[in-house]
Amino acid sequence: MSTFQNYILGNWMNGDGVETELFHAVTNAELGSVSSAGIDYEQVLDYGRRTGGRALRKMTFQERGRMLKALALFLMERKDRYYEVSSWTGATKVDSWIDIEGGIGNLFANASLRKQFPDLPYYVDGTAAPLSKNGTFIGHHIMVPKEGVAVHINAFNFPVWGMLEKIAVNLMAGVPALVKPSEYTCYLTEVVVRDIIASKILPEGSLQLICGLGRGILDHVDARDIVTFTGSAATGKILKGLPRISQESVSFNLEADSLNATVLGKKAIPGTVEFDLFIKETVKEITIKAGQKCTAVRRIIVPEEFIDEVQSAISARLASTKIGNPSEEGVRMGPLATRLQAERVRSSVEELSKFQQIVFGDLDHFDIVGSSAKRDAFFAPILFRNDNPFHQTACHEIEAFGPVATIMPYKELDDAIELAKMGKGSLVSSIVTPDNQEARDYVVGAASMHGRILVLNEQCAKESTGHGSPMPLLTHGGPGRAGGGEEMGGKRGVLHYLQRTAIQGHPTTITAITEQFQVGAEMPEANPHVFRKHFEELVIGETVFTHKHTVTDADIVNFANVSGDNFYAHMDATSLEGTIFERRVAHGYFILSKAAGLFVDPKKGPVLLNYGLEEARFTKPVYPGATIGVRFTVKEKVDQEKRSEDDIPKGIVKFLVDVYDETGETVALATILTMVKKLNDN
């Protein structure tokens, strides 16, 4: 037997005594014990803020992203050990894959977000706001990492994913984490954290772990900290209502279990691909992780004319599902995580049975595959039927957190929408239909009470991630009963851990703060030309003022011949009556093309290539006879890592292309993206 430890203050430590004894979900063999009693959480939080927070805040988004990528690769190399320990929780290979590789996938996904952030420790949000007539006073927003700790209180059902999907986001933002997994499955979390700490990829103090009960973990949080909770709605509301949370205005994100619904569209009649997809997806959601998912299907809403066929098809599939020791051949569903969970699910099923009928399954009589399996934590799938769901409403109020769902009929799609919303707020819903109008009507009608809606049909089925799979680049959370919070969400999730602050000042000052050129800032003339400078030598704001060119009718004709763009406004002066143009006008793309001819220094140098154009717009018509010039300004620099030893060391430079006419007025604006070599080989 083992004593599973806490990682705090830079060391692995035992708590005082024994708080919880832990057991193998399949065999009921004792695994060990855990305790966090006696831990000084004020000291733990302070250590995270001072040690981990300071180190992370010094790193840029690019560095943090590369750190997450390195960690993901490191953990993938060690995943076999995690699968072994995951089996102790009763997870099948598929269950473990969702938890382990799904969690590591969150690290990869958040690492890729670095491309959406500047090469700075903080984020520059949006665009500048003009605050004065002459442009000498502007406003902007920056978002800096909060100087507290992200305290993550996680549920028992995803010991790896639950941790990694959260810390991937706060680490990307530059905020350290204190993770408190469920004590019942913390042994798997501990194995992963031991590897993370041993890797030394994360700065010390950026990840701490509490494996025990965590009593008092929220007693010392303050306005700098962020608390996230995943678990039952009842427990989440108790924690969110703690005086400390409100007194200190602590950010609290609640993601609670919910009564998620799946809907069979009226157009998905028996015999269609969509009908079969609905049956397969529903049974999968009942049995994966033995129904122990916050996103699992709890309510099955189907057209009343198909309810018998649906009940029969689901029951047949459930009957073929082998339950038992996941190591045995053919087993598709293991036990619940603990005997306590099985007792709680039984209690909920017994309560639901007072209001609706069990049409498949038996609480006491079911077969288990595997001689080593003890019945304590096993629970067979239960399918209820409720023919009067608008009046017998227990199915919309009581959740059995296991392989339990209720099938119910609807007459019209509006009824299905109303039934879905009777769950009082859900993490996810799905509709299976071949009809896009039916899908649209459901999504628009049900969205206000759901955090995510899957629309499933034959076209997307092969690549669909399914009803129960939150994706790292999309938000995970929901209104009402689901907690009202949001997790993940790609860039949105990272911003949750940053403090937005408005800044005001002269454009030159705001340029210095944001390290992004602001219109109206000083524009020192580049000498030599910016295309002659390496990445490190370029300075934000330095500008090339080009020679000028007078636009002619011949330019317009020649560009039309080359491009094939013979739009009437460029080529037919007799067709301009009733338009905004006074006479034939130069192509906008000719203006940008000519601008490139003006600002490019053609000799071979540090610039490797131009690979993109952003934010291009044409702000004023240019007629033959107008004279244009370009202000070509270093706008922003983003470091780029080498992909291999042979890769050329380089960075990304964004240049502002400001094309102006003889009056000094801007006629076109764009940002070009370039790859520029570095002086140093790193």
Sequence-separated (6 or more) residues with CB below 8 Å from residue 646: none
Sequence-separated (6 or more) residues with CB below 8 Å from residue 178: 44, 45, 48, 149, 150, 151, 152, 208, 209, 210, 217
Give the three-state DSSP class for 37: coil
Give the three-state DSSP class for 375: helix
Indicate the residue type of 488. M
Indicate the residue type of 362. D
Task: Kindly report each contact of residues 364-371 with a partner whose C-beta sits within 8 Å and lies 24 or more positions away, as own/partner.
Answer: 366/323, 367/323, 367/324, 368/323, 368/324, 368/325, 369/322, 369/323, 369/324, 369/325, 369/328, 369/330, 369/331, 370/26, 370/324, 370/325, 370/327, 370/328, 370/331
Residue pair 442/417 in contact by the 8 Å Cβ criterion: yes
Instruction: Reply yes or no on whether 211 is catalytic.
Output: no
Q: Check residue 28 and give left, alpha or beta (phi > 0: left; psi -120 to 50: alpha).
A: left
Number of H helices, E strands in the chain: 19, 28
Tokens of 507: 């454009």
Residue pair 457/434 in contact by the 8 Å Cβ criterion: yes
Indicate the residue type of 14. N
Name the nearest CA neighbour of 349 among 403, 386, 425, 392.
Answer: 403
Give the number of other CB atoms < 10 A from CB of residue 127: 12
Q: Which helix (H) or strand (E) holds 313?
A: helix 307-319
Indicate the residue type of 417. I
> Which residue of the set 101, 211, 274, 294 is catalytic?
294
Give the three-state DSSP class for 182: coil
Residue pair 330/367 in contact by the 8 Å Cβ criterion: no
Instruction: Reply yes or no on whether 536 is catalytic.
Output: no
> Which residue of the set 101, 165, 190, 255 is catalytic?
255
Q: Maximum distance among all alpha carbons in the chain?
A: 92
Q: What are the distances in angstroms from CA 541 to CA 137, 516, 522, 532?
A: 17, 8, 7, 16
Indicate which residues carry an active-site annotation.
255, 294
